[in-house]
Amino acid sequence: MRVEPPIDSLRESAAKDAFERARLLVAEDLERVNHLVVTRLESTVPLIGELARHLVAAGGKRIRPLLTLLSARLCGYAGDRHIALATCVEFIHTATLLHDDVVDGSDLRRGRASANAIWGNKAPVLVGDFLFSRAFQLMVADGSLRVLEILARASAVIAEGEVAQLRTTGDLGTDEARYLAVVEAKTAALFEAACRVGAAVAGRGRAEEEALATYGRHLGIAFQLVDDALDYAADPARLGKGVGDDFREGKITLPVILALARADAEERAFWKRTLEDLDQGPDDLARALAILARHDAVAATLERARAFGERARAALAVFPAGPHREALSGLVDFCIARAY
Amino acid sequence: MRVEPPIDSLRESAAKDAFERARLLVAEDLERVNHLVVTRLESTVPLIGELARHLVAAGGKRIRPLLTLLSARLCGYAGDRHIALATCVEFIHTATLLHDDVVDGSDLRRGRASANAIWGNKAPVLVGDFLFSRAFQLMVADGSLRVLEILARASAVIAEGEVAQLRTTGDLGTDEARYLAVVEAKTAALFEAACRVGAAVAGRGRAEEEALATYGRHLGIAFQLVDDALDYAADPARLGKGVGDDFREGKITLPVILALARADAEERAFWKRTLEDLDQGPDDLARALAILARHDAVAATLERARAFGERARAALAVFPAGPHREALSGLVDFCIARAY
C-alpha cells in the first residue's frame, strides 16, 4: 500500500524548491557576496574575525542579500555594484542579530551556540558595531548617496523598532496594530530596504522602486509573523532556535495577542502571570500551547502571514513576467511554507 | 598672611580658562549643535528620547564637536554645514559611551547614574545603535561622501580598538606599544576624525587636513592617557566617575604597564592576582596606588601625555597664528591640566 505524504510536507517541499530556484538564478552573485562577506570581515583584531566567522559559518538563509540581488536583476541591472550592496545588507542584518541576542540573552542562533553564549556580551556588542561601520564603509566605497540614505534610514528604523519592542514586552495591552508597527520597523524595514537598494542601483524609476519596497515590506511582515508562529509550533531541531523563547522572555507576539482577544478571565490571569509578571513554572509553556490551540491562534497568525504574503506578491505585478519575478514570488511561498 | 594657591591649582585654572575661551570663540555654533542634538534625538519611540536626554542633560564637555567647529573655522569655513557634522561626531561619541558602559558594566557616567544602571543593558545597546544610525542619516543629508568616508572609517576603527582592548584586559603581557595602538583606535580615532571633518567641510587642501588630523590624533592620545592617570589619582567627586574603575575591571592601562616594567617579584604577583585573576580584596586598590606612587607611574603617564600634547600643538604650526589656532592650542592645555 502506498502511503501519501501529508499535504503540509508537500507544500513545504515545493516551497524549498522555490527557494533553491531563486538562489540558483543568482548563484554566481550569491557566491560573490559570500566571498565578500568573508574578506571584508577581516580585521587586524583577530577576535573580530573569529566571532564573525562563527556567525558566517553558521550559515543562515541569506534571504536579505538575495532580495537585493534579485531586485537589481529584475530591474535589468547588468553591473556588479549590487554584490557589495547585498553584502552591506547582510552585515547590517548580522549586526542586529548580534545585538538582539545580547538584548534577549539568547543561547541559540541558527542552531548553534549564540555569540554571546560563547564570548559573553562584550564582544558581540562591539563586533556588531564593527559590522555596522564596515557596512557603511562599503556603501561609501560604492558612492551612492541614495543607497546610503536608504540603509541609514532602515538602520535607524530597526533600532527604533527594537526599542519599541522593549516596551511591548510584558505589556498585555499591546494590540495587533501596535504589534504590527513594531514588526514593520524591526523586521520589515530591512527587507524593504534590501529590495529598494536593488531598484536604486539599477537606476529605475520611482514606480518600480516603490513596487519592490512594497513587496519587501509585506514579505518582511509575513516572515516575522511566521517566525512568531514557529516559536509556538516548531520542531526546535529544524528551526535552530528554542521553541517558547518568546514566551520565556515575556514577548507579546501575534499568537498571544489573538489568544488574549478571546481569553476568558482565567486565561487572562494565566497570561498576566506568565508574560507580565514573568512568573513561569515548568508546565506553563505546555499550557500556553494548549490555550493557543483552543483559540486557533497560531493558525490565525499564519493566515495573516499568508495575507501579507499575497500583498507582497501582488506588488510584483508592475514587472513583466520572467524568471526573476518568479523567483521573488517563490520567496513568498518559501517564507510562508517554512511554517508547515 | 596671604596664602599662595598651590602651583597646580593655578595651572588648572589657566587650563579651564583656555577651555572656556575656546568655547566662547564658537559659542553660537556650539549653541546650534546643542539644539540640533536635542531635536535630532527625537523619535516616535519615547524611551529613545528619555534615555538620550538623560545623557545629553548630563552634559559632558562636548570636546569632540568643539574640535570640528574650531577646525572648520581655522580653515576659513564660513558656511553652516559644520554644525550638523559636529552633531554627528557627538552622536557617534555618545553611541560608543552607551555601548562602553554596557561592556564595562559601569554604574557612573558624567557624575550621574549610567544609562545601563537605570535601564539595564537592553535599551542602551539599542539606543546606541539608533544614535549611530541617526549620525549617518545626518551625514547623508549633508551629502559629502568624503565626510561619510572619514566617519565610517573612524567608527570601524573605534570598534576594532574596543575589541582589541577586551584582549588586553587582564593580560599583563600588554606592552606600551600595544597599549598605545589600542588608545589610538578607541579614543584618538574620533578626535582625529572630528578635526579632519572640519578641514574637509572647508574644502582645504590635503596638507591642512593632515595637519589637523595629526593634531587631533595626538590630542586624543594625550586625553586618554590623562584619563588613565586620573583613574588612579582623581578626586571622584570632580571627575564624575569612580577612582579605581580600570583597576576593578582588570584593565591594563599605561600607569600599570609602567609600574609592571619596574616591578619586583612580589609586585608582579600582586598585579597578576588583582588584574589577571581579578582576585581583589578591600585593601588592594590602596596597595595598587602605593605601588604606582613608588614607581612614579602616574607622573610618568602624565609626562607622556604632555609629550603627545606637544606633538599635537606642533602640528598646528602650518596655520597662521590667530584666535582659532590659539583655541586649539588651549585645548591641549585643558586636556593635560585637568589632571592637576
Contacts of B137 in chain A (CB under 8 A): 149, 152-153, 156
Given CB atoms, is A182 within the 8 Å cutoff of chain B? no
Measured between alpha carbons, how far apart are the two ends of chain A, in Å? 25
Rounded CA-CA distance B7/A337 in Å is: 76
Check residues A1 and A203 and name the one with the higher pLDDT. Answer: A203
pTM of the predicted model as reported, rounded to 2 decimal places: 0.91
What's the CA gap between A65 and A233, in Å, rounded? Answer: 27
| Partner A contacted by B145 (CB < 8 A) | yes
Q: What is the pLDDT of residues B45-55, one digit of tens each?
A: 888 888 877 87
Buried b (16+ CB within 10 A) or exposed e, B40-72: bbebebebbbbbbebbbebebebbbbbbbbbbb
In angstroms, the CA B171 to CA A320 distance is: 62
Distance CA A227, CA A223 (A): 6
pLDDT at B242: 60
Task: Give the closest of A125, A156, A164 to B137, CB-based.
Answer: A156
B123 in contact with A, Cβ within 8 Å: yes
The answer to whether the beta carbons of residues B255 and B298 sit under 8 Å apart is yes
> Given pLDDT bands bounded at 50, 70 and 90, which one contains residue A235?
low
For residue B130, give the nearest of A128, A145, A156 by CB distance.
A156
Q: How far is the C-alpha of B81 from the C-alpha of B216, rounded, in Å?
A: 20
Torsion angle defined by CA atoms of residues B103, B105, B109 and B111, in that order, rounded to the nearest 10 degrees: -170
Compute the residue count for chain A.
340
| DSSP per residue, A39-52 | HHT--SSHHHHHHH
**Inter-chain touch A125–B122, beta carbons under 8 Å:** no
List domains and CATH numbers for chain A.
7-337 (1.10.600.10)
Q: Which residue of A has its CA nearest to B178?
A: A45
Q: Which of residues 48-67 of A touch B (CB under 8 A)?
A: 48
- Cβ contact A132–B129 (<8 Å): yes
The helix (run of H) or strand (run of E) holding residue A234 is: none
Helix-, strand-, coil-residue percentages of chain B, each rounded to 5: 75, 0, 25
Q: Tens digits of per-residue pLDDT, B272-327?
A: 999 999 999 989 999 999 999 999 999 999 999 999 999 999 999 999 999 999 99
All three cell numbers of B130 = 539608533
- Residue A268, chain B, CB below 8 Å: the answer is no
A318 close contact with B: CB closer than 8 A = no
Chain A residues in contact with B102 by the CB 8 A cut-off are 121, 125
| Predicted ipTM of the assembly | 0.90
Q: Which stretch of A217-221, A262-266, B50-54 has the lowest confidence by average pLDDT?
A: B50-54
pLDDT digits (tens, 9 = 90+) for B250-277: 999 999 999 999 999 999 999 999 999 9
